[in-house]
Structure 1
Amino acid sequence: MISEKKTAIHSVKVLIVDDESDILDLLEYNFEQEGYNVLRAMNGEEALQVAAQERPDLIVLDIMMPKMDGVSACLALKSMPGLEDVCVVFLTARSEEYSEVAGFEAGADDYIFKPIKPRVLKSRIKAILRRHQQRAIVQDSNLIRIHDLEIVRDEYVVRKEKDTIPLPRKEFELFSFLASRPGKVYSREDLLVRIWENVHVTDRTVDVHVRKLREKIGARYILTVKGVGYKFLPQGSL
């Protein structure tokens, strides 16, 4: 059964998807405490229907569900017009690395493991939504500005605290691409397709370019996600 609480009026819509009603109740209570507009679904197929109608800003998606598992649902969601950039957080009791890798490769922004810790859950969701909002606020067709960094696409330069850092074309394209989607994890294979179009290069090519970018711009902006790939951190890693 699909339901929506009418008491929480907020610009941020959160769709929670789990086949256990007690988990849904716990998530709904905590998200409504933050003022989010909460939507519910109990399996992947139902989640697709709700998402198509309501266009949520963020989806918390259980992995092990009947009818359609979370990974399959995430892939389907990301292919729907208007939902390509929706934030997806997987909720799971599974801790195997291959399961986490599959989730990130499907397009997830983060993983939260059961049993749920409400304070940690709310903090992680807030951080993801902040990163998502930063993507749209500070970039246009030619300029990306994030904190102390300015990326000017038509000049192929990066400026850091007003110092210009010229970069070779592929280094710039890689950095510009990652910076345009802060917090989003990309596998080496995905970056090869998007930046090099898979033309006579290997995974090692990505690693070398990331190493050079870290030397020139600073190591804290591009984080290695073990077993998956890389992501850009707008405030640098701590």
Structure 2
Amino acid sequence: MVRKILVVDDEAVLLDTISYNLEQAGYQVTKAADGLSALDAARTETPDLVILDIMLPGIDGLEVCRQLRRERLTAVVPIIMLTAKGDEIDKVVGLEVGADDYMTKPFGRRELLARVRALLRRADYPITNSGNQDTTNNRQESLPRRKDLHSGDLSIDQAGRRVTNRGQNIELQPKQFDLLTYLVRNRGTVLTRDQLLHHVWGYDYAGDTRTVDVHIRWLREKLEEEAANPKLIQTVRGVGYVFRG
């Protein structure tokens, strides 16, 4: 099955270059040059992945990302955001509004394709191997159902991709869920940021570990009684993170 990718950028040369590289790799590409066109294309084309520039005319990429995350058809579609070099705040905000990953311009063809493949692979085979019932991915139906995970007041329904903590349902973005599940499955083991990037995001190289730090902060805000004094997900200075629940 040919995977569909929506590419959104108002720089015509970059838009054409990204689209060409993706098409040469076997993907079907839809292009958009502004926020409104991107929303329309996402709703009508139902892409498997979105590559979205932050700086767009009209509705910017951050608002496009927010709206896509609120809509049923695109709520779990992987989104890679494109940012200008050095715009650290844009990267963090992009992750906070629901992007799965970001790339800093300029970037090479190999990095682009590696990140696209990694996110599509994780979308097809989530780290929980739970099968998200996507009708385009019937291969998952034959995968064994994983048992629920429990740690104190925390419960993770891997098949249903649901989390409860202290009796309350916790809403998590797809990558937040995958990260939490991996941490809990490896409780007591100190995991480096590069390990988490590899196993949760699927990168085969050392990526930008800021992605991990931001997702850890979100999990703490949603799960810990005191996010500033975490008991469940602890930092091991100079190494990474460990789940102590």
TM-score range, shorter chain: 0.5 to 0.7
Give percent identity, aligned residues only: 32
SS of the equivalent of 2:52 reads: strand
Counterpart-to-counterpart distance in 2, 1:187 and 1:102: 15
Q: Equivalent residue of 1:211, what SS?
A: strand
Distance 1:188 1:63 in 2: 22
- Give 1:204 deviation, angstroms: 2.9
Structure 2: which 5+ runs fail to align? 133-144, 157-162, 166-175, 183-199, 202-211
User: Which residue pairs with 1:203 in the alignment?
Assistant: 227
Residue equivalent to 2:152: 168
Whether 1:188 aligns to 2:217 is yes
Tell me the SS of whatever aligns to 1:39. strand
Contact 1:151 1:176 in 2 (8 A): no
Tell me how far 1:49 sits from its aligned partner.
Answer: 0.2
Per the TM alignment, residue 86 of structure 1 is displaced from its structure 2 partner at its CA by 0.7
Q: Secondary structure at the match of 1:124?
A: helix
- 4+ residue runs of structure 1 moved beyond 6 angstroms? 174-177, 219-223
SS of structure 1 residue aligned to 2:122: helix
Q: 1: distance between equivalents of 2:105 and 2:242?
A: 28
Judge conservation of contact 1:189–1:203 (CA < 8 Å) in 2. no
Residue correspondences, number: 184
Q: Given the two structures, how large is their TM-score scaled by the length of structure 1? A: 0.66
2:11 to 13, 20, 32: 20
Structure number with bigger Rg: 1
**Would the alpha carbon gap of residues 222 and 124 (structure 1) be closer, same or farther in structure 2, given more than 3 Å must change?**
farther
Alignment equivalent of 2:77, drawn from 69, 86, 91 = 86
* Cα distance in 1, alignment partners of residues 45 and 6 from structure 2: 9
TM-score (norm 2): 0.64
> Is the 8 Å Cα contact of residues 90 and 111 (structure 1) preserved in structure 2?
yes
Match of 1:36 in 2: 27
Deviations 1:175-200 (A, max 9, x none): 977228x449636356544x46xxxx
Whether the 8 Å contact between 1:105 and 1:187 is mirrored in structure 2 is no
Give, in whole Å, the separation in 1 of the partners of 2:146 and 2:231: 21
Shift of 1:136: 8.3
What's the counterpart of residue 101 of structure 2? 110
Corresponding residue number in structure 2 for 1:152: 147
Which residue does the alignment assign to 1:230?
none
AA partner of residue 116 (structure 1): F
- Distance of aligned partners of 1:113 and 1:222 in 2 relative to their CA distance in 1, 3 Å threshold: farther
Shift of 1:220: 7.5
Indicate the RMSD between aligned Cα atoms, in angstroms: 3.4
The question of whether the paired residues in 2 share the 8 Å contact of 1:171 and 1:209 is answered with no
